[in-house]
Chains A and B, each alone.
Chain A
Amino acid sequence: MLLATPPDTLVQARARRSLRPGRPLRLGFLYGPLLLVAAWAAGSATGLLDPRFLSAPWTVVTTTGELIANGRLQDNLASSVQRVGLGLAFGIPAGTLLALASGLSRWGEALIDGPVQIKRAVPALALMPLLILWLGIGEGMKITVIALGVVVPIYIHTHNGLRSIDGRYVELAETVELSRAAFIRKVVLPGALPGFLLGMRFAVTTAWLFLVVAELINSTSGIGYMMDLARTYGQTDVILVGIVLYGLLGLFSDAAVRLVERRALSWRRTLAG
Chain B
Amino acid sequence: MRGEGAFPVRLRFAERGKVRFISHRDAARAFDRAFRIEALPLALSEGFSPRPKVSFGLALSVGHESIAEYMDVRFSEPVDLEALPARLTAALPEGIEVTGVALLADRAPALQESVTAVEWELEVAKIDESEVSAEEISLRIEALFETKSLPVNRIRKGREDIVDIRPALTRMSVIESGSVGIVLTAEIATQPAARPSEVVTVLGEDLRAVRVLRTAQWIERDGNRQEPLIADAARVSEARAS
Decide whether A and B are members of one complex.
no
